């Protein structure tokens, strides 16, 4: 339990998805736990407090879900409560408002947002459902911690229902510049809803500045004061804390797994299958914010500028399937595959293929083996709230000789700038030059850079993140 939370303090976590994966057939559902930093960090807190996790089960409401969740709750020691959504709500709220409006808007994407009023109404309806489920859960002194952009209105609806429990909100994605945010037709309503929380957490100081500027521009009756990690907004008689709390990873888990004999053997097999002397790793969910086509064009530039490295350096690009039902994602997949084919067709020779492309999910051990096998990590999102792949790569780099090439537009850049090679992902020639710098970097320099990043991540792990959020929330 975080030090700020007493033994008798209950905790309710609210997120779009529950920390389980369900398979249902004929009214019988089986659940399995979902891995991830948030689950790793919050499960011990919820177990110790006999808390509640509220979320959507990931599919239209069907018979058998509640029974499966009860069995899961018995195993974990905390309660899972689902918010059932209809197919229409999933379409308009999840695939509509959150994926076609908030996601591109908050990531400052070039794609046009679909400001469909039906999507907005569906978002409000679903947030009201989550709020109602929260109001009827737990005890009157529980702390309610709501996560991410899907649920920015939950506290507002809780207050309207007379629920005055302490609430916190954490935004896992970036907060956009005020000029970008102003495009949202419901901009003031969204800010006012967020300010119903008692504490708002953002990933970086840059995100916090953007949020405060939006509040100042759109809500002149709100005053913000203070310095340091956490500042305060005054709205009438209420005070809201607004802070930067960079999320992290379970460093010990990644380090321990990377050192295991099985992962070491798998890493050796990966490297043996890729005969280049150095292998670059790119691993991303299929999304236009990750900059995968830009990265591939940088590889083409590198191979053109430095023909001497052909046969010595290759890219292992893993793309994890995501949101396949959305047309722009299907088009992105085609574009990636076209570029891979073009580069391989131009630069391959017998015994050497420059781009090794995989479109699939990886198990945790496979992921760690890939981290260990690759001497360079290419993490170049066009915009990212944090990007934990960068931190995971460093934690798993037990030889300490890896090089991280990192986008300056990833939240992780603020923490890792003293060890990573920072790049502008839109600058194809600049990224190509950075890869060449990583390829030619001497071992001692690699180790110095990697040691700095690893130590920073070790000291500021996922558990420190939880502690810092709660410490601020419960401070007077």
Q: Determine contact, residues 244/208, Cβ cutoff 8 Å.
A: yes
Any idea where the domains of the chain sit in the sequence?
Answer: 11-247+463-474, 251-459
> What is the topology classification, in CATH, of domain 251-459?
Rossmann fold (3.40.50)
For the ranges 53-62, 77-86, 335-344, the lowest mean pLDDT is seen at 53-62
Which residues, other chains included, contact 469 with Cβ-Cβ below 8 Å and sequence gap of 6+?
145, 168, 170, 199, 201, 243, 245
What is each CA distance from 31 to 17, 62, 70, 111, in whole angstroms? 13, 14, 10, 36
Three-state secondary structure of 57-122: CCCCCCCCHHHHHHHHHHHHCCEEEECCCCHHHHHHHHHHHHHHHHHHHHCCCCCCCCCCHHHHHH
pLDDT tens readout for residues 334-379: 999 999 999 999 999 999 999 999 999 999 999 999 999 999 999 9
pLDDT tens readout for residues 7-41: 668 999 999 999 888 777 777 777 777 777 788 88
pLDDT score of 64 more than 90 = no
Which of these, 156, 161, 96, 83, lies nearest to 126 by C-alpha position? Answer: 83
Write down the CATH superfamily of domain 11-247+463-474: Glycogen Phosphorylase B; (3.40.50.2000)
**C-alpha to C-alpha distance for 473 and 45, rounded to whole angstroms:** 15
pLDDT for 39: 85
Q: Determine contact, residues 17/83, Cβ cutoff 8 Å.
A: no
Pairing between β-strand 28-33 and β-strand 20-25 as defined by DSSP bridges: antiparallel
For the ranges 62-76, 218-232, 258-272, 340-354, the lowest mean pLDDT is seen at 62-76
Q: Determine contact, residues 11/145, Cβ cutoff 8 Å.
A: yes
Residues serving a catalytic function are 172, 384
pLDDT score of 60 more than 70 = no
Same fold: 11-247+463-474 with 251-459: yes
**C-alpha to C-alpha distance for 433 and 450, rounded to whole angstroms:** 20
Q: What pTM, to 2 d.p., does this model score?
A: 0.94
């Amino acid at each position: 339990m975080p030090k700020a939370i007493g033994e008798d303090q209950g905790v309710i976590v609210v997120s779009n998805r529950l920390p389980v994966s369900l398979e249902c057939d004929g009214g019988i559902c089986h659940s399995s736990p979902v891995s991830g930093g948030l689950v790793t960090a919050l499960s011990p807190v919820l177990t110790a407090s006999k808390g509640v996790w509220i979320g959507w089960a990931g599919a239209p409401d069907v018979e058998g879900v509640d029974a499966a969740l009860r069995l899961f709750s018995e195993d974990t020691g905390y309660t899972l409560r689902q918010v059932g959504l209809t197919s229409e709500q999933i379409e308009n709220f999840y695939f509509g408002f959150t994926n076609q409006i908030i996601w591109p808007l908050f990531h400052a994407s070039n794609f046009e947002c679909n400001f469909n009023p039906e999507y907005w109404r569906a978002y409000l309806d679903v947030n009201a459902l989550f709020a109602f489920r929260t109001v009827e859960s737990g005890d009157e002194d529980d702390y309610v911690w709501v996560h991410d952009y899907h649920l920015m209105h939950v506290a507002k609806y809780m207050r309207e229902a007379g629920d005055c429990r302490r609430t916190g909100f954490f935004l896992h994605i970036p907060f956009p510049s005020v000029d970008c945010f102003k495009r949202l037709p419901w901009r003031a309503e969204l800010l006012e809803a967020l300010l119903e929380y008692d504490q708002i957490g953002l990933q970086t100081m840059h995100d916090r500045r953007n949020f405060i500027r939006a509040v100042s521009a759109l809500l002149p009756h709100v005053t913000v004061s203070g310095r340091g990690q956490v500042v305060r907004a005054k709205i009438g008689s209420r005070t809201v804390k607004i802070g930067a709390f960079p999320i992290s990873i379970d460093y010990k888990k990644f380090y321990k797994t990377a050192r295991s004999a099985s992962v070491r053997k798998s890493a050796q097999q990966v490297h043996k299958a890729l005969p280049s002397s150095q292998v670059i790793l790119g691993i991303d969910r299929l999304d236009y914010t990750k900059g995968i086509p830009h990265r591939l064009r940088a590889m083409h530039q590198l191979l053109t500028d430095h023909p001497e490295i052909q046969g010595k350096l290759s890219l292992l690009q893993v793309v994890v399937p995501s949101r396949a039902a959305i047309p722009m994602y299907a088009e992105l997949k085609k574009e990636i595959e076209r570029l891979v084919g073009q580069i391989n067709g131009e630069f391959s020779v017998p015994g050497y293929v420059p781009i090794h492309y995989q479109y699939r999910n990886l198990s945790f051990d496979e992921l760690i083996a890939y981290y260990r096998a690759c001497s360079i990590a290419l993490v170049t999102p066009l915009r990212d709230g944090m990007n934990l792949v960068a931190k995971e790569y460093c934690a798993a780099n037990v030889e300490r000789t890896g090089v991280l090439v990192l986008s300056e537009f990833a939240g992780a850049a603020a923490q890792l700038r003293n060890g990573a090679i920072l790049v502008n992902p839109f600058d194809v020639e600049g990224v190509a030059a950075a890869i060449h710098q990583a390829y030619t970097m001497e071992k001692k320099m690699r180790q110095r850079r990697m040691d700095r990043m690893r130590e920073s991540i070790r000291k500021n792990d996922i558990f420190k993140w939880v502690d810092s959020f709660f410490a601020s929330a419960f401070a007077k």
